[in-house]
Structure 1
Amino acid sequence: MEYEFLRDVTGLVKVRMSMGHEVVGHWFNEEVKDNPGLLDEVEQAMASVKGSERQWQSIGHEYTLWLDGEEVIIRANQLEISGDEMEEGMSYYDEESLSFCGVEDFLQVMNAYREFLQQR
């Protein structure tokens, strides 16, 4: 999972992610930009579910982050599709709306994001 942090002309941090993980960048750009404390909350949740069968989720304005001891899933809230709307045997996946990654990889991106925020 490759990523890049940029600042726009106003100084706002933008995250760009590699193909297949774009929604991770969108999550940072939409959910974390006005609430950097969310990163602490996610990190605490990671520690609380590690080595257990527990799960945790954070429902934001645009994206929901779900995690367990091994995996992080970020899904656009607009992806609320019930099984009745799908044809039998079909599954829905949109790279711009759903992403999966390992907890350690996600933690690495969170830490790099924090470091980037401290640079001015």
Structure 2
Amino acid sequence: MEYQFIRDPIAGFRVRMSEEHALVGRWLNDELPLNDIAGFIEKMSTVKQGTEELKLEGKEVRLTLSKDEALFEAHTLFQNDVDLSRYEDDLLELDEDGLMAGCGFEDFQALMHDWNRFVQSRR
């Protein structure tokens, strides 16, 4: 998983990620408060030791964290109230690229530790 941390003078702390993991970056940028990174890392360690999953429903992204993987899903995937068949004549369909991303637990844990160090060192 490739990523780059940025401290933007206007937008603040941001992470850029490869296209494949863009949703993970969006979750870090928009869903996880900077003052809760350390607390989240603690929750991660309890998930790794236990048998339960951690599910976090954000504003736009759901994170499901198990001891094996981190799965990110955009809420758009779960909107069943829109009848997409009425758009068939326009050849429109839901593009699911970028609406789901996943990675192994260890990779995600390393990302979180790196993110925490970056934010703490530049405050």
Normalising by the smaller structure, the TM-score range is 0.7 to 0.9
Query: Structure 1 unaligned runs (5+)?
Result: 87-91
Q: Is the CA contact 2:77–2:96 (under 8 Å) kept in the aligned structure 1?
A: no
Counterparts of 1:93 and 1:114 in 2: how far apart (Å)?
32
Larger proportion of helix:
2
Q: Which runs of 4+ in 1 moved over 6 A?
A: none
RMSD over aligned Cα, in angstroms?
2.4
Deviation at 1:119, TM superposition (A): 3.0
Q: Aligned residue pairs: how many?
A: 111
Deviation at 1:114, TM superposition (A): 1.2
Which has the higher Rg, Structure 1 or Structure 2? 2
Q: Is the CA contact 1:22–1:95 (under 8 Å) kept in the aligned structure 2?
A: no
If the length of structure 2 is used for normalisation, what is the TM-score? 0.75
Identity of aligned residues (%): 32
Q: Is the CA contact 1:21–1:95 (under 8 Å) kept in the aligned structure 2?
A: no
Deviation at 1:12, TM superposition (A): 0.2
More displaced, 96-105 or 11-20? 11-20
If the length of structure 1 is used for normalisation, what is the TM-score? 0.77
Query: Structure 2 unaligned runs (5+)?
Result: 85-93
